[in-house]
Structure 1
């Protein structure tokens, strides 16, 4: 191996690695890139002695004054980092495993690129301090229950109906700005209702439905992507290709009503545009300036409207879609106003992915794993793994029935507990 590679500082390799693993043009996007960059930065800080115990000086020899290089890496370094991750920092077992995998993947890439001669991070001695993986995904496993789903959809439906009725029944002599305020309130409520119904019943991943700032290909669904007559919607799937997702009957009416109220100027408008005032103001000012309007005229134009979204509709200034984080904020607000009872260790609101998992529960119980896998756009093996508790419960019922068939009675006294 060239001495040049061995003497290369660790972080000199990060950008090339992240570009190779990133998505989109130039490898600049993608959640994996963002998460890997964060963990590589943490690893570099630890290796340099900037993280860890007070007496930790890093992996470079004490008698040299330089940043760590590839020459300093061996399996003992990765063993120490595994021990550092699993230390008393409150990280869950699976989180430690996940963080280590980011560093291990980079180590493997460095071997292929000639920075290292061996994949030290995958050696048994290096991985020995890692806690065992209990099979659960890091983070949450929330799934909306039927009661939660019904409570939330009923709440947003009532809000939308009231707002739309308040707008459509205004007296003819209502002031223009008051009409616009009522229309804006109706649009926002209708958008929220449509969003909740789509998340609750389609099982589409939120990253396939809305804009992801870290992946330029995920710009959010547009009206041109929906076919309400056919009950389908084109989305950019997790498997990196466009595919049709189903729109079941409960979703169609909220979308039709919302579209009629919005009356988008073109089919390329996002189905779920951002309502953020600052974002819309900047967009309108920039677009109207490009159309040749002076600043004073732009200000006068904006003053004529109660909200910039209504001006954008009239002038066909297409906003961006709401982001995945924006959807979480919407659901936090709606979960609170709906006063839904939520008992979960991580989320105090109905998170977007919980709608997908909740619908998965319904499908598996009603039609089995094969049909559920097709609807969820997952492999049957993965669906069986994620919803294994359903099969376990069913097998438990079978076992109980078998015991009853052979007359094996189990006596139980609550007083003995």
Structure 2
């Protein structure tokens, strides 16, 4: 191996690695890139002795004053880092496994790129301190029950109906700004209802439905992506390609009512636009300025509207979709308003992924793993693994029935 590679500082390889692993043009997007960058930075700080422990000076010999390089790496270094993840950072065992995998993947890439001569991170001695992985993903176990799904959809449906009625029954002489405020409230309530119904019944991943700031390809579904007559929606799947997802009957009416009220100026409008006032104010000012409007005229135009969203609709100033984090905030607000008391180690509200998992439960119990896998856009093997508790419960029922049968025969030997 060239001495140049061995003497290269560790962090000199990070950006190139992240570009290779990133998504989008230039490899500068994607959740994996963001998470890997965070853990590589943690690893670099630990390797340099900067992670805060008084008795840790890093992987460079104490009598040498330089940054850590690839020449300092061997399986003992990764063994110590595995021990650090499992102890010093106080992480859960599955999180330790996840974070170590980021570093291990980088190590493997470094071997292929000529920075290292061996994949030290995958050696048995390096991985020995890692805790066993019980197969669960942290925070990914919540599933909406049928009672929770019905209660939440009923709550948002009532809110939307009340808001629409309040808007559509206003007297004709209502002040224009008051009428706009009522329309805005109805739009927000119907948007929230449509979002909840889609999450509750389609089992689409929230990252496929809404905007991901770290992946430019995930810009959120637009009205042009929906076919309400056919009951389908085009989404950018986790497998990195566009595919059609089903829109079952309970979802159609909320989407139709919401679309009618919004009346989007073009089909390219997001189905679930942000309602964040700061974002919309900046968007409207910039767009109107680009169209040649002077600041004074823009201010006067905005003063005619109770909310910038309504001005954006009239001027076809297309806002961005809400983000996946935005959806979580909406679900938190709605769960609190509906009075849910959620007992979960990570989420005290009905989280978006819980809708998908809850629908998976329904499908597996009603139609089996093969049909559920098609609807969930997963392999049957993965669905069987994720919902193995259902099969275990069914086998338990079979065992109970068998035991009852044996006990019955034992109690009545004359029947043998």
| TM-score normalised per structure 2 | 0.98
Shift of 1:140: 3.1
Residue 53 of structure 1 and its aligned partner are, at CA, apart by 2.4
C-alpha distance after superposition, 1:307-347 (max 9, x if no partner): 00000000000000000000000000000000012111110
Runs of 5+ consecutive residues of structure 1 not aligned to the other structure: none
Shift of 1:106: 0.1
Once the two structures are TM-superposed, the CA of residue 92 in structure 1 deviates from its matched residue by 1.1
Q: Secondary structure at the match of 2:54?
A: coil
Name the SS for the 1:243 alignment partner. Answer: strand
Alpha-carbon spacing, 1:411–1:3, altered in 2? closer, same or farther (3 Å): farther
Q: Is contact 1:151-1:340 (8 Å) kept?
A: no
Report the CA distance between 1:413 and its aligned residue. Answer: 22
Counterparts of 2:69 and 2:211, CA distance in 1: 38
Q: Render the CA deviation track for 1:9-62: whole Å, top value 9, x for unaligned.
A: 000000000000000000000000000000000000000001152110000011
Displacement after TM superposition at 1:88 (Å): 4.9
> Quick check: 1:52–1:84 contact (8 Å CA) kept in 2?
no
Over 3 Å counting, the alpha-carbon distance change for 1:105 and 1:366 in structure 2 is same
Task: Measure, in 1, the Cα distance between the counterparts of 2:22 and 2:65.
Answer: 33
CA contact (8 A) 1:153 1:196 kept: yes
Q: Deviations over 1:193-240 (max 9, x none)?
A: 000000000000000000000000000000000000000000000000
CA distance in 2, matches of 1:341, 1:121: 43
Alignment pair present for 1:363 and 2:363: yes
The separation in 1 between residues aligned to 2:339 and 2:411, in whole angstroms, is 39
Relative to structure 1, is the Cα distance of residues 414 and 59 closer, same or farther in structure 2, using a 3 angstrom cutoff? Answer: farther
Q: Aligned pair 1:344/2:347, yes or no?
A: no
For residues 151-186 of structure 1, the C-alpha deviation after alignment (integer angstroms, 9 at most, x for no partner) is 100000000000000000000000100000000000
Query: Contact (CA 8 Å) 1:48, 1:68: kept in 2 or not?
Result: yes
For residues 362 and 46 of structure 1, the distance between their equivalents in structure 2, rounded to whole angstroms, comes to: 46
Alpha-carbon offset, residue 352 of structure 1: 0.3
Q: Using a 3 Å threshold, how does the CA distance of structure 1 residues 232 and 85 change in structure 2: closer, same or farther?
A: same
Maintained 8 Å contact 1:331/1:350:
yes
The root-mean-square deviation of aligned C-alpha atoms, in Å, is 3.4
Note the C-alpha offset of 1:364. Answer: 0.3
Secondary structure of residue in 1 paired with 2:409: coil
Distance 1:129 1:175, change over 3 A: same
Contact 2:139-2:345 at 8 Å conserved across structures: no
Q: Deviations over 1:240-284 (max 9, x none)?
A: 000000000000000000000000000000000000000000000
After TM superposition, the structure 1 stretch with the greater mean CA deviation from structure 2, 81-90 or 144-153, is: 81-90
Secondary structure of the structure 1 residue equivalent to 2:286: helix
Q: Flag the 1:410–1:161 CA change in 2: closer, same or farther, 3 A.
A: farther
Structure 2 vs 1, CA of residues 411 and 346 (structure 1 numbering), >3 Å: closer, same or farther?
farther
Per the TM alignment, residue 411 of structure 1 is displaced from its structure 2 partner at its CA by 13
Relative to structure 1, is the Cα distance of residues 415 and 303 closer, same or farther in structure 2, using a 3 angstrom cutoff?
A: farther
Residue 403 of structure 1 deviates from its aligned partner by 1.1
On the 8 A contact 1:223/1:268 being kept in 2, the answer is: yes
The number of aligned residues is: 416
Q: TM-score, normalised by structure 1?
A: 0.97
